[in-house]
Amino acid sequence: MTVRVESKAGPYEVHISRDALEALPAQLEGANRVALIHSPPLEDVAHHVSGLLDGLEVLRIEVPDAEEAKTPGILAWCWDQLAEAGFTRNDVVVGLGGGTATDLAGFVAASWLRGVAYVSVPTSVLGMVDAAVGGKTGINLTAGKNLVGAFHEPRAVICDLSLLDSLPAAEVRSGMAEVIKCGFIADPQILRLVSDDLDDSLDVTSIRFAELVRRAITVKAEVVAADLTERTSIGADIGREALNYGHTLGHAIEARERFTLRHGEAISIGMVFMAEVSRRLLGLDDETAAMHRELLGGIELPLRYEQEAWPELRRLMSLDKKSRGSTLRLVGLSAQGRPRILADPDERVLEEAYASLA
């Protein structure tokens, strides 16, 4: 199955199946070289992908695993590899890996020669439903996550579900946090599918899981089509910023943990926090607020963080990309499927909501 992303930068398709890799060669027509950026655990998969690209010169660039790949030093090293290979604007960068690898590879493509073609091949749930679709690319700094980056849409996204078969259960749960987020902000059917069978929702070979991935990607595709570069104004439909539900506190926790905590685990805490903020400031009903804890806790994601960390987390939240000047902007919910911007929310309410996570 495919999901078409009608982006203003140009339409592209997300291929979703257990043999989606077969669609990759057709996305590379016209290229002489392919830079295949991947992490060490995916060496065998990278070898298999290289074998599919008969007739093309494949430059394999192995980068560190997880967030260690998203650094200025690794980015510069990738540029050096492309320079030595004589990489041109006719060539294509392919990002193979989880969300961190595709974030890095996308930024390499966006920045090399002011932009070359890019194809994303995510190998994690998080990569498929979040990082690979929508054109956001970037790297981390010590000061925070994704502070340097660019919008650069892929030519195509290849979501081969068979690549998830060996994924650790904790990584599947982490990715499912982003799926559940899509349910709260736009598609309540996702929440029903997860609630009806938690175990089947985490089974990467199940029909239910494939449908959850498709629905989450569809949510992101529709949001991105309307608002590629996150040009949201207060008081209007919030567009792409809706995708940041739970991310302001989540990113702050990740930064405090020096990116050693899984993204979905941090975002889970962030969503529970925002449900409590929304209940107090936007009139979110108690049932939906409680559903955050039921679903996220039901798949064994964390619901709380260190209480004494609040002052530092609040400082880190001010570095968030959604902030405007000194004004903090949060994404909240007034109801299921109705995300709203909270600009400069009451500090006492934020502190009270965080304390309620204890």
d(CA 259, CA 272): 20
pLDDT at 235 exceeding the cut of 70: no
d(CA 159, CA 210): 10
Residues 68 and 136 in one domain: yes
Residues 11 and 79 in one domain: yes
User: Does 67 appear as a known binding residue?
Assistant: yes
Residues 138 and 205 in one domain: no
- In total, how many domains does the chain have? 2
Q: For residue 283, give every residue at least 6 positions away whose Cβ sits within 8 Å of its Cβ, in sequence order, or none.
A: 334
Q: Which of 137, 164, 191 is the last residue of a domain?
A: 164
d(CA 194, CA 263): 19
Q: pTM of the prediction?
A: 0.89
The pLDDT confidence band at residue 233, using thresholds 50, 70 and 90, is very low
Average pLDDT over residues 105-115: 96
Residues 67 and 193 in one domain: no
Average pLDDT over residues 55-69: 91
Residues 223 and 345 in one domain: yes
User: Does 124 appear as a known binding residue?
Assistant: yes
Work out whether the CA dihedral 235, 236, 241, 243 comes out positive or negative: positive
Residues 141 and 250 in one domain: no
Range of weakest confidence among 33-37, 189-193, 198-202, 254-258: 254-258
Domain range for 185 is 169-356
Residues 271 and 181 in one domain: yes
CATH number at residue 148: 3.40.50.1970
Residues 74 and 220 in one domain: no
The per-residue pLDDT for 230 is: 62
User: Does 263 appear as a known binding residue?
Assistant: yes
User: Does 70 appear as a known binding residue?
Assistant: yes
The per-residue pLDDT for 134 is: 82
pLDDT at 304 exceeding the cut of 50: yes
Residues 54 and 99 in one domain: yes
Residues 239 and 262 in one domain: yes
The per-residue pLDDT for 336 is: 96
The pLDDT confidence band at residue 228, using thresholds 50, 70 and 90, is low
Average pLDDT over residues 90-100: 93
User: Does 136 appear as a known binding residue?
Assistant: yes
The per-residue pLDDT for 4 is: 92
Which residue carries 């059917």 as its tokens? 189
The per-residue pLDDT for 225 is: 80
Average pLDDT over residues 248-258: 94
The pLDDT confidence band at residue 142, using thresholds 50, 70 and 90, is confident
Residues 184 and 157 in one domain: no
Average pLDDT over residues 79-98: 95
Q: Which of 164, 192, 210 is the last residue of a domain?
A: 164
Q: Which of 164, 182, 197 is the last residue of a domain?
A: 164
Structure tokens that stand for 328 in this block: 């903090």
Residues 74 and 207 in one domain: no
CATH number at residue 260: 1.20.1090.10
User: Does 65 appear as a known binding residue?
Assistant: yes
Range of weakest confidence among 123-137, 147-161, 328-342: 123-137
pLDDT at 238 exceeding the cut of 80: no
The per-residue pLDDT for 237 is: 55
pLDDT at 289 exceeding the cut of 80: yes
pLDDT at 216 exceeding the cut of 70: yes
